[in-house]
Amino acid sequence: MKVKCYIQGMAAISPQHTFDGDITTAPFVQTESNRLVCIEPDYKPFIPGNSLRRMTRVLRMGLTTALKCLANSGVATPGPIVTGTGKGSLQDTEKFIKEIEQYKETALNPTPFIQSTYNSVNGLIALQQNGTDYNNTFVHRGFSFENALVDSMMLLQEGASHTLTGSFEEMTEEHFYIKSRIGQWRTAPVGNTRLFEQHLPGTISGEGSAFFVLTAAQTPASKAAISGIKLLYKPSEERLSAVLQELGADADLVISGDNGDSNYARYYELLGEVLPKPAIPFKHLCGEYDTAGSFALWLAAALLDTGKIPGEWFPMVKELPGEFRKVVIYNHFFGEQHTVMVVEKVNG
C-alpha cells in the first residue's frame, strides 16, 4: 500500500524502558538469558482493581498500552480498533487445556477460555473506552500486526479520521520450551549485546505490546508518517530484492530485523546488498516474536521524532548516522512472513 498516514501518538511495553520516559534518556537493558521479558508498568492507574485481578498478563499489557497510547494521542474516542497478535493469551490457553484434563471436563471456570479468545484484548479496549466502531484482530504470525496496519490504512482511506492500531504478545516458560524443541532459540545463553557477534542457529525470544493512533491528516503533534507497507509471503530473493529496492532506495536509515539466527540470515544479508546504507538492528532490544514489527515501527517513529539515535541502545553499531529523514524497516518471521515498512519524518 502506498497511502500515507500519520502517527499521532504511541505507547509500548517491551523488555526495554519504553513505557515511561524518553528514548533518548532511558537506560538500555542488558540481558543474559535467551528469553527477553517485558518490563511491566504499574497497571493500577489504568485498570480498575476488580478487573485487573481477573486479567492475565498479556491482557493487562495490551489494554494498558492501548490506554496509554490514547492518552498520549489526545483523541476523545479510540475510533476503529485493529490489532494483531500471533499467539494471544498463551497463559489462558495453557491454563484451560490443563484444567480440562485436571478436572476431567467438569466444573470448569470459563474465564481462561474467554480470555484465550484472540480478540479479547480488543473487546476490553472497546468496553473500557466505549469504542463502538469497527473492531478487528489478525492472528497470522509475522503478518499479524502488519495486516492490522494495512486494515487501518484502508479505514483511513475509506474516511475514518483515526484508528487505534496495535499488537500484543507474550512468551510463557512453557511455550518457550515447546518452541525450543524445534530449535527456535539459541542453545547456549547469549547476551543481547552479543547477539550479532556470531550468527548461529536459533535466536532469543521476546514479547511486547505497541499501540499507535494513526490519522489520515497530518497534525502539529504527528510523530512520523507511514508512507509504505508491503507484506511478502515466502518471497523469492528476486521478488524481495525488487520490493526492498522499490520501497527503500531513497531511505537514509535501515532498521533490520536481524536476530542472529544463521538459519535465515541470508535475507538480512540480501538487505545489506540491496540497500547498502546505515543500518541498525532492533531484536537485541525486544527479542524475536510474531509482532516484533510493531516494536520496530515504534522505534522508527521515536527516532524520527527525537531526531537522534541513543548510542547506548546500539553498542554493536560502530557508526550511527547523524541525520535521517526516511527509514525503511525490513523484518521476517522465521523466513516465512516478510514485511517492509517505510516511515518518514514530519514536522521539521
Partner 1 sequence: MAERVFITGMGMVTAIGDNVAGNLERLRRKESGLGFTDYINTIYKEVLPVGEVKQDNAALFRMAGIPVQAGFSRTTLLGLVAMQEALQQAGISHLQDEPTGFINASTVGGMCDTEKVYFDLINPDKSGEFIQSIHTLDCADCTQRIADTVGFTEHLATISTACSSSANALMFGARMIKAGMYQRMVCGGTEALTRFTLNGFNSLKNVDRQFCRPFDQQRTGLNLGEGAAYLVLESESYAKANNSTILAELTGYCNTNEAFHPTSPSPEGDGAYAAMKNALAMSGRTLEEVQYINVHGTATLNNDISEGRALERLFGTAVPPFSSTKPFTGHTLAAAGAIEAIYAVLAIRNNIIFPNLNFSERMEELQIVPETELKEDVIINNVISNSFGFGGNNASLVISKYEG
Positions in the binding site for partner 1 (CB under 8 A): 1, 81, 86-88, 93, 96-97, 100-101, 104-106, 108-110, 113-114, 116-120, 122-124, 126-127, 129-141, 143, 147, 151, 154, 157-158, 174, 177-179, 181-182, 231, 233-234, 336-337
When the beta carbons of 227 and 347 are compared against partner 1, the nearer one is 227
User: Cα separations (Å) of 259 from 100, 168, 227, 311?
Assistant: 37, 20, 25, 19
- Per 3-state DSSP, the chain is made up of helix, strand and coil in percentages (nearest 5) of 35, 20, 40
Residue 282, C-alpha cell as written in the block: 532492533
Dist CA 241 CA 238 (whole Å) = 5
Residue 250 burial (CB count, 10 A): 10
When the beta carbons of 111 and 219 are compared against partner 1, the nearer one is 111
Q: Is residue 55 within a helix (H) or strand (E), and if so which, with residue range? A: none
Residue 331, C-alpha cell as written in the block: 523484518
| Shortest spacing between CB 293 and partner 1, in angstroms | 14
| Shortest spacing between CB 212 and partner 1, in angstroms | 19
| Shortest spacing between CB 159 and partner 1, in angstroms | 12
**Do the beta carbons of residue 56 and residue 89 sit within 8 Å?**
yes
Q: Is residue 267 within a helix (H) or strand (E), and if so which, with residue range? A: helix 265-274
| Shortest spacing between CB 68 and partner 1, in angstroms | 19
**Do the beta carbons of residue 252 and residue 324 sit within 8 Å?**
yes
What is the SS3 assignment for 309?
Answer: coil
| Shortest spacing between CB 128 and partner 1, in angstroms | 8
When the beta carbons of 72 and 135 are compared against partner 1, the nearer one is 135
When the beta carbons of 24 and 263 are compared against partner 1, the nearer one is 263
When the beta carbons of 93 and 256 are compared against partner 1, the nearer one is 93
When the beta carbons of 252 and 336 are compared against partner 1, the nearer one is 336
When the beta carbons of 30 and 177 are compared against partner 1, the nearer one is 177
When the beta carbons of 180 and 306 are compared against partner 1, the nearer one is 180
| Shortest spacing between CB 1 and partner 1, in angstroms | 7
**Do the beta carbons of residue 338 and residue 240 sit within 8 Å?**
yes
Task: State the amino acid at position 295 in one-letter form.
Answer: F
| Shortest spacing between CB 274 and partner 1, in angstroms | 20
Residue 122 burial (CB count, 10 A): 24
| Shortest spacing between CB 290 and partner 1, in angstroms | 8
State the virtual CA torsion across 63, 204, 247, 236 in degrees, nearest 10.
-120
**Do the beta carbons of residue 226 and residue 149 sit within 8 Å?**
yes
